[in-house]
Amino acid sequence: MSDQTIVVLDFGGQYNHLIARRIRELGVRSVLLPHDTTLAKIRKEYDVAGIILSGSYSSVRKPDFLSMDEKILFSGIPVLGICYGMQLIAKLMGGQVIPAAKSEYGKQSVSIKNSESLLFRGVGQKTEVFMSHKDVVDALPKDFVIDASASDSMVAAIEHVTLPIYGVQFHPEVTHTIEGMRMLDNFISLVCRASKTWKMDAFAEEKANEIQNTVKDEKVLLGLSGGVDSAVTAMLVHKAIGSNLTCVFVDHGLLRKNESDEVMHSLSGKFGLNIIRVDASDRFLEKLHGVTDPETKRKIIGNEFIKVFEETANKLGDLAFLAQGTLYTDKVESGTGASATIKSHHNVGGLPDHMNLRLLEPLDTLFKDEVRKLGLTLGLPESLVNRQPFPGPGLAIRIIGEITKDRLNLVKESDAILREEIFANGLDKETWQYFTLLPGVHTVGVMGDERTYGELIVIRAVSSVDGMTADWAKLPYDVLDKISIRIVNEVSGITRVAYDITSKPPGTIEWE
């Protein structure tokens, strides 16, 4: 119990690990625990400075609603309830929660009513927040006051007059809540008075020790894609167990143009990693032949990955673990058991039920930006650490419909042009992710005074911090114009280019 800790109780919402991530970003250690973790267990295992109750898919109006150890509310430990967490506080302490007149999803303005509240110290009298709920607090429990309300008089924030208990109906952890980080900082600094001593190198040491204790003297196989996640995982596992790690780079034929060679050039031999390259491109394309359903694609790719790993493991012999660069965003979108499935990730939902190797996923509590920081802490070069995200299933999920070599080529060539122009115009650092995709739409065109009938290519570019939420990138028109002209002129078979201007939510970054 070296560092003071903010405990986040997990009630199954989509943004729960994001809360823990925000607390770490503010310099305080945080852990995510099951919602029914007892006060006694929390006090025994952590130097707890505060407790946050997360959002949830559930409703406190249901007979089997997810609850908590009520002793926490009277323990004197500062408590912050977020969305469902606020409704739970209200219910358990004698208030009333009712269905909202209409479900709230998105940005909304709220007014701060209690200028003395520590939670809203320095926050504007009116501020924009992100709502996502179906229930509202209708009657406050005894000894609670309203800190903030929405334009429709909905209760947006509450606090107890004597106990350090606060609740907000919105999500301060989401970037769309403009002053959310100030509110969270106020909670940990002014309410909890927590020491800001946590740093990423502490996480690296904790995880390396955890890996050592788990693996002991056994050997680990790691699937290396060349992306940030798998590279950082490799470095972290290598830090923990050294030569007992073997990395396997599976070339499934679904990478971007020239990427296979770039991966080997950038990582092989440079950091003391033992890397084996396996060319399985024909095998993956054969398995995906005629497949159009996106979930089936992901599961086929996940299964083939594991089969290749296990075949390699059988040749190498004496391997016990499979290490993967699974992030928290992968797990929450694939469904955590409490949260709903958005889409299966090949390294989560696509794994076979019976697998000979045990899984090792040391990054599964982190978000993309935290992984980048960890990579720098472990000594990886900035050029590798700041590579834009690339999905494990590769271009298979950027081709809607059947995957063929010709259609793969259309995406590879158009994507290469997009990346060249983004880099040439200095937009690569400010644009979080950018790629092209093939939606399977054919359109009429005119080239050389003749009618053409080719495929549509869609450009997707977004700005984000962690991938949980994203805004479409406002790329300059002249850059988009040049990209469009080049793609149509240089990639045979493309007759039209479109730009996706959907944010996340309601969309996802990838189309499948």
DSSP assignment of 195-252: -----HHHHHHHHHHHHHHHHTT--EEEE--SSHHHHHHHHHHHHHHGGGEEEEEEE-
Token pair, residue 379, equals 């000594």
Q: Residue 158, exposed/middle/buried by CB under 10 A (0-12, 13-18, 19+)? A: buried
Q: What is the dihedral of CA 197, 202, 206, 207, to 10 degrees?
A: 130
The DSSP secondary-structure symbol of 504 reads B
At residue 191's C-alpha, the angle toward residues 187 and 192, to 5°, is 90
Name the DSSP class of 118: G
Q: Which residues, in sequence order, are CB contacts of 206 under 8 Å at separation 6+?
A: none
* Type of residue at 444: V
Distance between CA atoms of residues 385 and 276, nearest Å: 21
Question: What residues are labeled active site?
Answer: 83, 171, 173
Q: What share of the chain is helix, strand, coil (3-state, %, to 5)?
A: 35, 25, 40
Joined together, the tokens standing for residue 273 give 């990693």
